[in-house]
Structure 1
Amino acid sequence: MKKLLGLLILMLACTGVQAAEGGYHLEKAPARLNDLPALQNGAKLFVNYCLNCHAASAMRYNRLKDIGLTDEQIKDNLLFSDGKVGDMMTVAMNAKEAKEWFGAAPPDLSVIARAKSVNAGPSGADYLYTYLRTFYRDDTRPTGWNNLVFPSVGMPHVLWERQGPRELTTVAMHRGEGEHGWERVTTTYDVNGAATVKHEPVADYHGHETMETRFTAKDPARVQAYDNDVADLVAFMSWMAEPVQQHRVRLGVWVLIFLAFFTVITWRLNAVYWKDVK
């Protein structure tokens, strides 16, 4: 009973987080769960950039054989210590040290793609895909970074070198100081995180409060390559959250085909059985 109550509280807490972070439109993540090279690239990115602080303690290294890697490839390219291929994907940092250094322990990412999913709404992959692509420099934050999906996030942009420098421009329409006045507020964050704010009064505006955002990349080709890497990383994290999901889907299709076939046979048997009954 206590475990069930704890699970219910955790689900409600996750729902609250989704509501708190749900103000930004989530983009659709590319579907790459069946793309083994993409999953392998995602595994490489995860180990190199995420596994330094975040653990994936529900996943073993040798499970990566399901995405086409051999034990030798895992040991040579994804294990950077004297660990074994059968070990869990953990980090050396413990929770006490993490809280002391960062203020809170970085969450375990084993099932983060499922935890960020919303019933009948955006998937966890959409959340992660958008989140990892909406970091921007903000010199008012302790880490020097902020995020549109998760405002005031405590995590820095660890992949910033792959994405390259960008500027962010936000245009907000909201009520000014006057009783019925509206103003347009344009805020630009340069590549170093310094913000420039411009206020413009808007007459005869009858809409509602809005917010538009626009990124300007200094190296578009670099950003395009980064977006492709993020799609691979998110695909791997989605696969890691439920490694058997593709097998489950294929099995479900065969079960439905069997039930449809069995229904036809049952219907015909029923007709034969009752044909002489008046």
Structure 2
Amino acid sequence: MKAMMKKTFHKLVVGLLAMTGLIWSAAGAAAGGNTALQLARNDVSNIASLQRGARNFVNYCSGCHSAKYVRYSRLAQDLALSEKQVTDNLMFSGERIHDTITVSMRPEDASHWFGTAPPDLSLIARSRGTDYIYSFLKSFYLDPSRPTGTNNLILPGTAMPHVLWELQGLQRAVYDGESDAEHNVVHKQFKEFELAKQGSLSPQEYDQFVRDTVNFLDYIAEPMQLERRNLGMRVLAFLIIFFLFAYFLKKEFWKDVK
């Protein structure tokens, strides 16, 4: 009986590991295929970073992208800002502090200009992951064949123009490759980016700009996450203490039973 249970448990573990591998493989494919993602290393507990990220979002993203599940009043509450600060500095599309972050661009106009309507970004950090967004915003490169003049290594053929080019500058993609004359095929592999035109920010400053923006997108995807984590730690601490009390109480009750 023990041998059968052990064998069944082993099969279950192997099956779970295989399923986990498939999930991670699918996630990697969805996040950019074989292109390695850079680590965002963002921290949603950093209020100053979230404030800068909110500034970046309303200035560079909210012209095309909405965040319709987020209210300005919630930003004021969580980002340690007064309602006046939010109204004066962040509210470009709403009229009242309790409005959500909407976009004035009509979907039909967006589809006409870009080929597709820009997506709402409320949950983009949960659906794509922060590393994906961070890598995407750093991976635009010059491509004269594209209507916008740029392409993206993480999302080839993206309809989004490089809206941050003035900050980052313009870069070229450098490839390593070899030619197969017999089959008239060139095999190339991405090597690195080289700067073609300097932006207004240094590479380190641009990295921080993108990291702050990603941090804000991570926050709006789940504004309750810090409270949830803190509550989870308190629950785990309670369970550990309760377990210790229960264990020693059991020892006391059963000390005379052999």
TM-score by length of 2: 0.81
In structure 1, the residue matched to 2:118 is 106
Deviation at 1:250, TM superposition (A): 1.5
Distance across 1 between alignment mates of 2:254 and 2:140: 69
2:30 aligned to which of 6, 10, 19 = 19
Distance across 1 between alignment mates of 2:31 and 2:164: 25
* Residues 62 and 96 (structure 1), Cα distance of their counterparts in 2 relative to 1, 3 Å cut: same
* Residues 182 and 57 (structure 1), Cα distance of their counterparts in 2 relative to 1, 3 Å cut: closer
In structure 2, the residue matched to 1:215 is 194
Spell out the pairing of 1:179-258 with structure 2 (5 A cutoff): 210-216=189-195, 218-219=197-198, 222-258=202-238
Amino acid at match of 1:161: E
Deviates more, 1:51-60 or 1:21-30: 21-30
User: How many residues are aligned here?
Assistant: 232
* Residues 277 and 39 (structure 1), Cα distance of their counterparts in 2 relative to 1, 3 Å cut: same
In structure 2, the residue matched to 1:156 is 161
In structure 2, the residue matched to 1:270 is 250
1:172 aligned to which of 174, 177, 180 = 177
Q: Percent identity?
A: 42
Amino acid at match of 1:24: T
* Residues 82 and 272 (structure 1), Cα distance of their counterparts in 2 relative to 1, 3 Å cut: closer
2:51 aligned to which of 14, 29, 40 = 40
Distance across 1 between alignment mates of 2:185 and 2:57: 45
Distance across 2 between alignment mates of 1:93 and 1:131: 23
Cα contact 1:60–1:87 (8 A) shared by 2 = yes
Amino acid at match of 1:111: L
Amino acid at match of 2:152: N
* Residues 88 and 256 (structure 1), Cα distance of their counterparts in 2 relative to 1, 3 Å cut: same
Query: Partner of 1:131: helix, strand, or coil?
Result: helix
2:121 pairs with 1:90: no
Amino acid at match of 2:159: G
Amino acid at match of 1:269: L
Q: CA RMSD in A?
A: 2.5
Cα contact 2:170–2:196 (8 A) shared by 1 = yes
Query: Partner of 2:81: helix, strand, or coil?
Result: coil
Deviation at 1:49, TM superposition (A): 0.8
Amino acid at match of 1:62: S
Q: Any stretches of 5+ residues in structure 2 without a counterpart?
A: 1-22
Distance across 1 between alignment mates of 2:202 and 2:190: 27
Cα contact 1:164–1:222 (8 A) shared by 2 = no
Distance across 2 between alignment mates of 1:230 and 1:87: 26
Query: Partner of 2:173: helix, strand, or coil?
Result: strand
Distance across 2 between alignment mates of 1:46 and 1:167: 26
In structure 1, the residue matched to 2:80 is 68
Tell me the alpha carbon deviations over residues 241-273 of structure 1, each in whole angstroms, 9 at most, x when there is no partner: 011111211211111111111111001111122
Distance across 1 between alignment mates of 2:237 and 2:196: 49
Deviates more, 1:235-244 or 1:90-99: 90-99
Distance across 2 between alignment mates of 1:230 and 1:86: 27
Cα contact 1:23–1:149 (8 A) shared by 2 = no
In structure 2, the residue matched to 1:261 is 241
TM-score by length of 1: 0.76
Cα contact 1:171–1:213 (8 A) shared by 2 = no
* Residues 245 and 16 (structure 1), Cα distance of their counterparts in 2 relative to 1, 3 Å cut: closer
Tell me the alpha carbon deviations over residues 187-221 of structure 1, each in whole angstroms, 9 at most, x when there is no partner: xxxxxxxxxxxxxxxxxxxxxxx442232365486
In structure 2, the residue matched to 1:125 is 130
